[in-house]
């Protein structure tokens, strides 16, 4: 499924998507000293899908939790990764909703990520998350695609991003958008 449903629709029809189809909900900009977590709360249930667009110059692997659910067995992920040469690698685990790229290989080369949370407000289906992210540091870096699953039929009302043993550094920015169906 495309990252931008409205844009794909406009390509097919030849018309731009409605200006009200894609809305900015909230943004977290990290100041000096960094922060240990990024939280989006009180997310309205009125959209079809959510998208998080993130940018982070420093940090470590990012975990994603929904509605305060920290039960590891409620999450799954699979990913494929490009490391600059050879065949692609992949991995999976049943432990977390996981946005896998190490954020920031030095403070100069920032991580960029686009995470789609599809049908987030459904109360009958589990939640599928698609993540596309990468970092290139001129001779090193990684490019990831991952698919995550939250095994809950609850509508997502809050999202917490956190880093394992690290913080989101200054100038990190994470923005939440809603896409209307």
Partner 1 sequence: MAAGSTYTKISSYTLGSNQTTVTFSSIPSTYTDLVLIAVPFSTQAGTSSNTLRANFNSDVSSNYSYTLMYGDGTSAVSQRGTNATFASFGSISQTSATAPYISIIHLMNYSNTTNYKSILVRDGRGDEYVEAWVNTWRSNSAINRIDLTRDGSNQIKSGSIFTLYGIAAA
Q: Which residue from 134, 152, 154, 160 is in contact with partner 1, where contact means CB under 8 A?
A: 134
86 binds partner 1 (CB under 8 A): yes
Q: How far apart are CA 97 and CA 45, in angstroms?
A: 21
Length of the chain in residues, anyone? 181
160 binds partner 1 (CB under 8 A): no
Give the DSSP H/E element, type plus range, for residue 63: strand 62-66
According to DSSP, residue 11 is labeled H
Q: Which residue from 48, 60, 118, 145 is in contact with partner 1, where contact means CB under 8 A?
A: 145
Residues 9-68 that bind partner 1 (CB under 8 A): 11, 16-17, 19-27, 40, 42-44, 53, 55, 57
159 binds partner 1 (CB under 8 A): no
Between 97 and 135, name the residue whose CB sits nearer to partner 1. 135
**Token pair 């290989």 in the structure block, residue:** 105
The string of DSSP letters for 125-168 reads S-EEEEEEEEEE-SS-EEEEEEEEEE---SPP--EEEEETT--B
Contact residues for partner 1 (CB under 8 A)? 2-4, 6-7, 11, 16-17, 19-27, 40, 42-44, 53, 55, 57, 80, 82-88, 107-112, 114, 132-139, 141-143, 145, 171, 173, 175-178
């Amino acid at each position: 499924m495309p990252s931008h449903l409205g844009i794909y629709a406009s390509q097919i029809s030849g018309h731009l998507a409605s200006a009200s189809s894609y809305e900015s909900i909230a943004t977290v900009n990290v100041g000096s000293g960094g922060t240990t977590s990024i939280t989006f709360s009180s997310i309205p249930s009125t959209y079809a899908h959510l998208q998080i667009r993130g940018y982070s110059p420093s940090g470590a692997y990012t975990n994603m939790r929904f509605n305060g659910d920290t039960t590891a067995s409620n999450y799954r992920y699979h990913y494929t990764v490009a490391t600059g040469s050879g065949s692609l690698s992949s991995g999976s685990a049943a432990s977390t909703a996981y946005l896998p790229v190490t954020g920031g290989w030095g403070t100069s080369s920032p991580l960029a990520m686009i995470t789609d949370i599809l049908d987030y407000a459904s109360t009958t289906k589990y939640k599928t998350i698609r993540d596309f992210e990468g970092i290139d540091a001129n001779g090193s870096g990684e490019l990831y695609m991952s698919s995550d699953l939250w095994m809950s039929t609850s509508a997502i009302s809050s999202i917490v991003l956190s880093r394992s043993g690290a913080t989101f550094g200054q100038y990190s920015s994470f923005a939440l958008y809603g896409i209307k169906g």
